[in-house]
Amino acid sequence: MKKLTDKLTDIMGAAFEKAGYDAALGAVRVSDRPDLCQYQCNGAMAAAKKYHKAPFMIADEVAAALDADAAEAVEVSVVKPGFLNLNLKPAFLLSCVQAVAEDENLSIPKVENPKKIVIDYGGPNVAKPLHVGHLRAAVIGESVKRLCRTVGNEVLGDVHLGDWGLQMGLIITEMKHRNPELPYFTDSTEYPEEAPFTISELEEIYPAASAKSKEDEEYKKEALEATHQLQLGNPGYRALWNQILSVSIADLKRNYERLNVSFDLWKSESDAQPYIPAMVEDLKNRGIAFYDQGALVVDVTEPDDKKEIPPCIILKSDGASLYSTTDIATIVERKKLFNPDEIIYVVDKRQGMHFTQVFRTVRKAGIVSDETGLTHIGFGTMNGKDGKPFKTRDGGVMRLSSLLDEIETEMKAKIRDNDNVRDEDTESTAEKVALAAVKYGDLSNQASKDYVFDVEKFTSFEGNTGPYILYTIVRIRSILEKAAEGDLAENLSAALLQPETDAESALMLDLAVFGSSIYEAYEELAPHRICSYIYQLSNDFNRFYHGTRILGEEDAEKRRSYLALLSVTLKVLEKSIDILGFDAPAHM
Ligand code: ARG
C-alpha cells in the first residue's frame, strides 16, 4: 500500500511534468498549517529559481495541469507567493476510510519480504528483583516485537536471562556460609526436589553477598572460585544453580505477566557458554583476535570513526570470558538455532559502546553476513521529578512491582467514585488503566531520550496519557453499545458517507493514514510514533464527538454513517493499543 503523501506526490509530480517542469518538484508533505490545508507542496517555490519564473505563475500552471483523476481526489489551491495547498476531496477521503474498514488488517501494509527477527529484550538477572530500570526494556521491547509482527515478520522475543558470572558465584557462596550442611555443599549426590529457599530469600541473599564481597577480599575470592567451579560443572553447584534458576524464572514470569509482556524464548547467558571455546579458537586461528597485554582482543576500529572505539575484549588475561564474549557467543548460537535476518536489542543506551564492539566483532569475523541486521535500540533513563534516576522515597532502587502497586492504588482511588465501574470491577479496571498509564507514559517518549516518570501526569484522564486514550475507547464502545446496531459490523463500509464538517474530515483523514502511520513507526522501530498518532486521533475523535449529535441524529443514514465511523475509529484505536501492549477495560 502506498502512503497518502506518496500518492499525492505522484499526482503533483505528474502535474509538474505536464506543465513542463521537473517531476521531482512535486514532493508533497503533511501541512504545517493544518488550519489552511491538509497537505502542501512547495515545488513551485523551488522551481522559480531554476526556471527564472514567478513562483505564482508556475503554481498556477501546475494546478491547471492536474489530470481528471487527480482533480477528483484532491483540491489544489494556489496561495501567494506560490504555495500549493492540498485538501482531499470528500469522496476520496470516504474511499480511503472505506478501504480501512474493509481490510481485516485495517490497511496496515505487510512487508514485501518478511524477515525472521530475534528481539532481545527484558534482560533480567536471576535472583535479582526486577527494578524500575527493567521497565523500559520490557515495555519498549514488547511493543517493538508486536510492531514487527503486525507488518508480517516472523518474530521471536528472547528474554536473554542473566544467569552467568560472578553474581551466581556470590549467591552460592552466601548460601554455603549460611547452610553448609545442604547437600549441594557436601559429597552427597542426592539433591532436594524442592528448592530450599523462596524468591524473597534469594532476593535478600544477593545484595548481602554482593556487599560482603566488596569489604572482604577472602569472601570475594571464594565467590570467584565458586563461579569457576560452577562453570566447570561442579554437580552440587549445578544442582543449586538450576533451582535458583527455576525459582527465579517462575517469579519473573509472574512479574512480566503483570506487565502484559511475554517471551517466546527463555534463553539465557549460560546457554551461550558452550559456544565460546570454538568461537575463541576460530577468532585466534584466523588472526581476528590477538593477545594484547595478556588479554585476547579484537581491534574493531574503522577508518571513519570520529571517536575512539576501544578493542573488544574476548578473554581477560586470566582467561575468563566477559559480557561481550557471551553476547558474541549468543549470536553464534542464534545463527545456528534460528538463522535470523535481524537481531534487535532493546537495552539501555549506556550499553551502546558494548554493542558497537560486539556488532563490529561478529561482522569482522563473518559470524553473521553483511545482510544480517544488528540493531541496538538504546533507551534513555527513567528519571524522577528531580531529574535524577527514579528512586524510592528513601533513595533506594525501586522494585518494579512496588511501582506498579503504587500506580494501581492511585488508580483505584480515582475509579472508586466512578459510577460507570461496578464495585466488583474496580480492581481489574484499575489494573488495566494503571498499566496503560505506565506503558503509555513510557512509550510516548522517543526511546533514546531520558524521561521523567510523573505519576500525576501519567495517571491523568486528560492530555497525552494512556488513561485518556482508554477513556476515548470506552466512550466509543458505550455509544456503539447504546446504538446496538446489530448488523453494522458487516456493512460497515457501505454505511459510511462523505464527511460534511471539518471535524469529520479531520477524523477521516486520521483514519485514512492509519496504515502508513503504523508502517512508518515500524520502519523507525518507534512506538512513540503510534502514541502520537492515537493521541491526534483521539483528539480529533473527541472534537467530532462534541460537535456532532450521534445517537440523536434523526437522519437514519447519517446516523448509521456516524456509527460506522465510530466503529472504524474503535478498531484502529484497539489495534494501536494492542501493538503498544495494553488493553482497555469495559467501562471507566
Ligand atoms: N542482563 C543485562 C543487564 O542487566 C542486560 C542484557 C541485555 N541483552 C544482551 N544481549 N546483552 O544489563
Output the 3-class SS for 310-343: CCEEEECCCCCECHHHHHHHHHHHHHHHCCCCEE
Residue 347 CA, ligand 1 centroid: distance in Å: 7
Q: Grid coordinates standing for 103?
A: 481490510
pLDDT tens sequence across 528-582: 999 999 999 999 999 999 999 998 899 989 999 999 999 999 999 999 999 999 9
539 grid coordinates:
483528539
Amino acid in the structure at residue 173:
T
The residue among 388 and 41 whose pLDDT is bigger is: 41
pLDDT above 70: percentage of residues in the chain = 99
Q: What is the pLDDT of residue 336?
A: 97
Residue 489 confidence (pLDDT): 54
pLDDT tens, residue by residue, 271-330 = 999 999 999 999 999 999 999 999 999 999 999 999 999 999 999 998 888 999 999 999
Measured CA to CA in angstroms, residue 396 lies from 131, 285, 388, 402, 447 at distances of: 10, 48, 12, 12, 24
Reported as a single tens digit per residue, the pLDDT across 212-235 is 999 999 999 999 999 989 988 899
Cβ neighbors of 187 (< 8 A, separation 6 or more) are none
The span from the CA of 478 to the CA of 469, in Å, is 14
The two beta strands, 342-348 and 116-120, are: parallel
Question: Which atom of ligand 1 is nearest the CA belonging to 323?
Answer: 11
Say how many Å lie between the CA of residue 154 and the centre of ligand 1. 23
Q: How confident is the model at residue 493 (pLDDT cuts 50, 70, 90)?
A: confident
Distance 420 CA to ligand 1 centre (A): 43
How many Å lie between the centroid of ligand 1 and the Cα of residue 123?
A: 5
What pLDDT is recorded for position 1?
60
The reported pLDDT for the residue numbered 387 is 87
pLDDT tens column, 367-377: 999 999 999 99
Using DSSP, state whether 206 is helix, strand or coil: helix
Predicted confidence (pLDDT) at residue 508 exceeds the cutoff of 80: yes
Specify the DSSP class assigned to residue 392: -
Beta bridge partners of 391: 397
Q: Name which residue sits closest to atom 6 of ligand 1, judged by CA.
A: 123
Nearest CA to ligand 1 atom 11: 327
The three-state secondary structure class of 492 is helix
Closest by Cα among 411, 421, 541, 552 to 483: 552
Residue 309, judged by CB atoms within 10 A of its CB (0-12, 13-18, 19+), counts as middle
345 CB near ligand 1 (under 6 Å): yes
pLDDT at 490 over 70: no
Predicted model pTM:
0.93
- Measured by CA distance, the residue closest to atom 5 of ligand 1 is 123
Locate 41 and state its grid cell: 507542496
Model confidence over 241-252: pLDDT tens digits?
999 999 999 999
pLDDT digit string, tens, across residues 381-404: 999 988 888 887 777 788 899 999
List the residue whose alpha carbon is closest to atom 2 of ligand 1: 123
Query: For a pocket test of ligand 1, which of 118, 119, 125 has the largest count of ligand atoms closer than 8 A to its C-beta?
Result: 125
Query: Does residue 347's CB lie within 6 angstroms of at least one atom of ligand 1?
Result: yes
Average pLDDT over residues 181-195: 90
On the question of pLDDT at 518 being above 80, the answer is yes
Q: What would the pLDDT profile of 329-361 be if each residue is shown by its tens digit?
A: 999 999 999 999 999 999 999 999 999 999 999
pLDDT at residue number 26:
96
Separation between Cα atoms, residue 529 and residue 383, nearest integer Å: 21
Cell of 298: 579484537
From the CB of 160, is ligand 1 less than 6 Å away?
A: yes
- Taking each continuous run of H as one helix and of E as one strand, the counts in the chain are 23, 13
Q: Give residue 504's identity as a one-letter amino acid code.
A: E
Tell me, in angstroms, the distance from the centre of ligand 1 to residue 209's CA.
Answer: 21
Mean pLDDT of the chain: 94
Backbone Cα Rg of the chain: 29
- What secondary structure does DSSP assign to 135-189, as a single string? HHHHHHHHHHHHHHHHTT-EEEEE--BB--SHHHHHHHHHHHHH-TTSGGGSS--
Instruction: Give per-residue pLDDT as tens, 96-129.
Output: 999 999 999 999 999 999 999 999 999 999 988 8
Q: Which residue has the higher pLDDT, 205 or 165?
A: 205
How confident is the model at residue 397, as a pLDDT?
Answer: 81
Residue with CA at minimum distance from ligand 1 atom 12? 123
Instruction: Report CA(352)–ligand 1 centroid distance (Å).
Output: 12
Q: In which region does residue 388 sit, left (phi positive, over 0), alpha (psi from -120 to 50) or beta (all else)?
A: beta
Q: Is the pLDDT of residue 27 over 60?
A: yes
Q: Is there an atom of ligand 1 within 6 Å of 499 CB?
A: no
Index of the ligand 1 atom closest to the CA of residue 354: 11
